[in-house]
Amino acid sequence: MLPPRKPSNKLTLDDAIQILKMLKQGYIQSRIAAFYEVNQARISEIKNKRKFPEAHKYVKD
């Protein structure tokens, strides 16, 4: 029998803003995901405006 899985951490709007800034600085998604202890897909969802689309207005292009 497998041990119970640990759920991913919950991300906040502030986390999403910081993630977008990290992406802009050149950090790769897998490293950001490891830092926040979430799946890389969550980082991709933030980057592609599927999660926290409002975060993009706080990060300058």
Tens digit of pLDDT for each residue in 20-59? 999 999 999 999 999 999 999 999 999 999 999 999 999 9
Count of domains for the chain: 1
Task: Give the pLDDT of residue 25.
Answer: 97
Whether 7 maps to a domain, the answer reads no
Range of the domain at 51: 13-58
Whether 32 maps to a domain, the answer reads yes
Whether 3 maps to a domain, the answer reads no
Whether 1 maps to a domain, the answer reads no
How far are the Cα atoms of 34, 49, 55, 60 from residue 40, in angstroms, in the given order? 8, 14, 18, 23
Whether 28 maps to a domain, the answer reads yes
Task: Give the pLDDT of residue 5.
Answer: 67
Whether 4 maps to a domain, the answer reads no
